[in-house]
Structures are given as C-alpha cells and as structure tokens.
Structure 1
Amino acid sequence: MTVLGPTIAECGIPGPLLIEPQVFGDARGFFMESWNAAAFRKAGLDAQFVQDNHSRSQKGVLRGLHFQMPGAQGKLVRVVHGAVFDVAVDLRRSSPTFGKWTGVDLTAANKRMFWVPEGFAHGFLALEDDTDVLYKCTAPYAPQNEHSLAWDDPDVGIEWPLHGIKPRLSAKDAAGVTLAQAETFA
C-alpha cells in the first residue's frame, strides 16, 4: 500500500481547512493516517502538536466557542464515533474575514478532519448520542487563559443545525461573550 497523503481544501474563509484523508478499506475494516507530519506539510499543513484531547458528547450538546489568549491553540479535529457540526470563527482583527464563521460536518463515517488555526474560536454541536471527538492541539490547555464566545451571537450569525432543539451548554459556555465584548487577536 502506498500512502500519498491527504487532500486539503479551504472551507469558506482563509485559515480553516477541510482535510480528506486517504482511507483504505476492505472487508476487514479500514486504515488511514490521521497525522503524518511530512505528508501533511507537503499538502500545506505544517503544525507541531503538543497535546491530544478526547471528548464525548450526547446529541444536542454544544461545546464552545472556545479560544485561548494568550496561548492560542491550533486544533486538528476529527470524529471517531457519531457526528458533529464543527465551527471556526475568525477572531483576528486584522483579517478581512474578522467575525466570519465556517462550519463543516464531521462524522465517523466520512472520516474528515477540520483544521482550526490559531486566532479562531472553535466549537461544535453533537448531532448524535455518544459522539467522540479527538483533537490535536498546538499549545497546551491553559484554563486560566480560556475564553468563550457566545454561540448565538447575532453579529456572528452561526447557522447551527438545531432543528428546533435547545442546545445543552456548560455554565461557562452559556456565559460566553459577544464578538463586540470579546478579547480578540491582532
């Protein structure tokens, strides 16, 4: 088997990337590289990861929109069980897309990955029960530096696929601030 590397594409705004790994499957199951520094660098994603995280959420749980300042994190996100609608919001004041968002569907079935670079808030809505999300980070988690952007800020206008349900939030996420109130990146 020759592994050539992932296909990487921009997704709506400059910075976040949708990654389609090469998946080799047969009657036994499948094989894929979820990270290969040389192959990803060649495809345009050069990152140094320092921490791996794993979260499990029930359907309707909305996590985020999180960012760290200082200590901004880039995140490579994937779903290994279930499905999410994953979102990145540009918090770089110097960016022409400041305050804009992009979202992608990540599922265990589609095996896609989502790169959320430093300077973006990140969050997701679990679309199925027992959804497991794995993500690699470029900086360690620093709870004293974590901030939450309001998931429902009308100035950002994220179109969450809620289908009439009220999302389940942590107390921290329910207290998220609007873009106008948020600390942002240069």
Structure 2
Amino acid sequence: MSTITALSVPTKNEVSEKNQAIFEQLEKGLGFVPNLYAYFAKSDTALQDYLTLQNRKSTLKAKEKEVVNLVVSEYNACFYCLSAHTQLGKINGFTEDQILEIRSGKATFDQKLDALAKFTLHVAENKGKVSEEAKNAFFEAGYSEANLVDTVIVIGDKTITNYLHNLAGFEIDFPLAAALN
C-alpha cells in the first residue's frame, strides 16, 4: 500500500489531452492557469465539470455571486479562494473595506447585499437549515426563490473549491487577501 505524502499541482504535460486543451483556453483568457484549476485536472473530467458549474447562467449578478463566494470562503477558512475572490471583488467594484466586511457576513453599505451576506452565512453555518426569519429577511430584501436556488448553487460551488484547496494545500497564486481583525 502506497502513501501519498505531498499533493502537487500537475503541469500541462501531466494532464490528459482534454485537460491540456482547457489549460490552453485558460491561458488565453486569464493569462495563466490558476493552481486551483490545474489541481482539478488531476481528474480527467473534474476540471470541465467544475468550469461548467462555475460558468452556468444564474439569477444572481456577478457582484452578488462575489458576496456569496467571499462569505463562504471566509467561513471555510480557504485562503486561496479568499485571495482569488478579493481580486474578483475589486474587479466587480467592491473596496478593500467592503470586501473585509462582506467576509464577516454582512454588507452594511448596501441593504440588499447585506441580506444576501447574512443569508449566505446562515446557510453555511446551519447546513441549509436556516430559520424562517433568515429566509424572510432574504425575500424581504427583494430576492426570489430562484435567487435562493442560485445562492445555494454558488455556496456549493465555493464549498467544493474551498475543500479542495484546504485538503491539497497548493500554493496561492493570487495576491494574498488581508486577514480579518
């Protein structure tokens, strides 16, 4: 019985031809292949499956998805995803202070995003078993049941990547996110 002591990010030459083609698309679009995506390529199908999930159409706007991503990544203590989504949060118009506040599970600078951040944290903390009060606050802020479904999908998406990085511990290839106080 063999034991794996160190988990490593594969290079382009170490993955299947199908994943090599995806690496080429990522290099063209992003300028590099993030270690997270490369690690998914350890499986012949996981990278394509994950990218399909991540790029699906959603009722949530990009800024709203970043709220969910930041809250869940903080809750799951995934510094890789916190670092990546801090950069994406800035691209989507959040300030550094707003990003730090979102990570704490609130967004007092915007009533609707605040409801989303609080709801997301409640869902993550309670494994989906949230109070009627939490659900009502989400709906009263203007979110629909379709938004609820899409929020849970983004929570699941981010939980997958958080767990994968927390298990594998590969290098963070984004500027490091600031620690919460």
TM-score by length of 2: 0.26
Higher strand proportion: 1
The structure with more radius of gyration: 2
